[in-house]
Chain A
Amino acid sequence: MKKISKHTFRSNTLPAMTTVGPVSLWLLFFVAIPLLYVLVMSFCSLDESYNVVFKFTAENYARLMDPNYIQIYTTSILVAFFTTVLCIIIGYPFSFLIARTKWKHKALLYMMVIIPFWTNSLIRIYGWRTFLGTGGWLNHMLLMLHITSEPVEFLFNKGTTVLGMVYCLFPFMVLPLYTAIEKLDSTLLEASSDLGAKGSVTFRKIILPLTMSGVFSGSIMVFIPCLGYFFVSDILGGGNSDVIGNLIERQFQSGNNWPLGAALSIILILITLLLVKIYQKLGGDMDSLGV
């Protein structure tokens, strides 16, 4: 029973407007309107001198079916898929170990996942290039140990792009998993083994279902950014494994075809909406996406 105090009789309009007003205006001007601009622009045409003119056309969408583009979508989705799977395969046992360790410096283990994040991601990706390049560290080591007789080109393929993506996005998988695994009630696991269940059965019937929410939100946080991280495929993929982000970036920079870039962005938005809908259908909580 909540007692109604005299203060609630006052009108709530003014305080509600002063608190929520600024954020509403901000979201309207810098999120809603810009996205509407993109939607409108995706139906615009270019004149002879490559200026955007507001003349309706569906041509930009027709161009999305270009076989070259379709190949980039396929690559992009494959890269995102393998990145997500690798993040789960490595991230799950890793999160499990650091979340349930009895070591007294447990918090340090958690922080060490975040610290690399605080160095600029571009320069860390470039660090991988220095490590893997033909004149790089790994080749030096291999030559010195006489494993190879001449430098091997490790870079510039889909594999290195996936490596870079896993590297950039790994913490986004670990953090929700860590939270989910840490919440696990140890008494449930003890009860299961007391009742005679083997380790694998306990894992399948108890641990996995209870931590699945972490896997789902981690997957969303990894898969979607992967489609847009153009700088990773630029630096490590060398143009051989472009993602949708590269395609969009080119239209807004060198290609200078903003309407086409806008149409491509609409595709990305639709993919995002679809994945988020699936996530919600699976019982995912939107708030756990904020990290």
Chain B
Amino acid sequence: MNRKIKAIVKKTAGILFCSFVYLFLFLPIIVIVTGSFNATTTKPYITWKGFTFDWYIKLFDNTALLSSFGATITIALISTLLSTAIGTVAAVGMYKYKFRGKGLIDGLLYIPVVIPEIVLGISLLTLFSNTHIPRDMLTLILSHTTFAIPYVIFNVRARLSGYDNSIEEASMDLGANRLLTLKNITLPVLAPGIAGGALLAFTLSIDDVIVSYFTNGQVKTFPLKVMESIKSGVAPDVNALSTLILAGTVILVVFTQSDILKKIKRRK
């Protein structure tokens, strides 16, 4: 009996503790979502003045904000495409072939992952300024691709560690050339790793603040737009756009849920 009570107390304490952690994680999001429905029109837009949908309508008049969102998505899509293509073939090549300088490439790959983002940001700024590449959409795409490549490679590499080379040999023995083998054998096996890497590249890109802060020019991404507005108070239409983005991503999560479930299971 005593033991039973002890177990119940332990369980309740655990649930309470986890609830507090989740509350901590979601508290700012509750603030953002609430803020998007706030009828206040005076800076810094904190005092509650009643419920309204106005900000969601006004959002579509704020062309600067909308174009920053467009830029964010464009940059994320292009840099995801680039980093996924480069990263996937690199992971396959590094797994299959021995060559000189492999250790060096491996070492360079860890740099964007471990050094503070600010160092990556200022080093790219120094590069662009010294080579007179004007800071624009292009420099943002190049920068985002740079920090995404290692994550794609690690994801694909994790998939390769259980890869059986003999199925490729079988394909080639049966007369398929390298390209055909890549398309019909290698890529399908690696697909989950590639998808995971691409998703990570995309998320890293849309959320990036620090590297973009140093490598942007005329084109501003959504996070940079938020940064500009912070001094005067973030307007509720920014909250509205963030809420919409959050809703979009939650739908995406639900959509890819089965994939994530599989990933968690595989880790065991």
Contact = CB atoms under 8 A, between A and B. Distances in A.
Q: Do A and B come from one complex?
A: yes
Interface of A: 5, 7, 12, 15-16, 18-20, 22-24, 26-35, 37-38, 41, 90, 93-94, 97-98, 107, 109-128, 130-131, 133, 135-137, 167, 170, 179, 182-183, 220, 224-225, 227-231, 235, 245, 248-249, 252, 258, 261-262, 265, 268-269, 272, 276, 286-287, 289-291
Given A5-B169, A23-B87, A287-B154, A272 B28 contact: no
A265 B145 CA distance: 22
Contacts of B192: none
Contact of B108 (A32, A120, A269): A32
A111 B105 contact: no
A90 B119 contact: no
B18 interface: yes
Contacts of A7: 169, 172
A12 B99 CA distance: 9
Identify the 4 closest CB pairs spanning chains A and B, nearest first: A19-B93, A127-B28, A228-B116, A34-B123
B64 interface: no
B45 to A, nearest CB: 9
Contacts of B27: 127-128, 131
B90 A20 contact: yes
Contact of B115 (A18, A111, A230, A268): A268
Size class of the contact patch on chain B: 35 or more
Nearest to B157: A287
Interface string B132-154: 00000000001101100111011
B108 A115 contact: no
A117 B203 contact: yes
B71 to A, nearest CB: 14
B40 to A, nearest CB: 11
Given A107-B261, A120-B207, A31 B118 contact: no
B228 to A, nearest CB: 10
A263 B88 CA distance: 35
B52 interface: no
Contact of A130 (B35, B114, B214, B223): B35
B255 interface: no
B114 A30 contact: no
B29 A124 contact: yes
B222 interface: yes
Interface string B77-97: 000000000110110111011
A211 B23 CA distance: 26
Contacts of B207: 117-118, 120-121
Contacts of A183: 267-268
A9 to B, nearest CB: 12
Given A5-B173, A116-B29, A22 B89 contact: yes
Given A38-B122, A98-B18, A123-B32, 7 more contacts: A12-B98, A19-B89, A37-B127, A110-B264, A120-B207, A231-B209, A269-B115
Nearest to A38: B123
6 contacts: A16-B93, A122-B223, A128-B31, A224-B115, A235-B230, A289-B113
Given A27-B105, A167-B28, A287-B154, A118 B246 contact: yes
Contacts of A22: 86, 89-90
A18 B127 contact: no
Contacts of A248: 118-119, 122
A24 B103 CA distance: 11
Contact of A290 (B122, B124, B151): B151
A15 B178 contact: yes
Contacts of A125: 28
Contact of B234 (A16, A126, A167, A286): A126
A12 B178 CA distance: 12
B9 to A, nearest CB: 14
A136 B203 contact: no
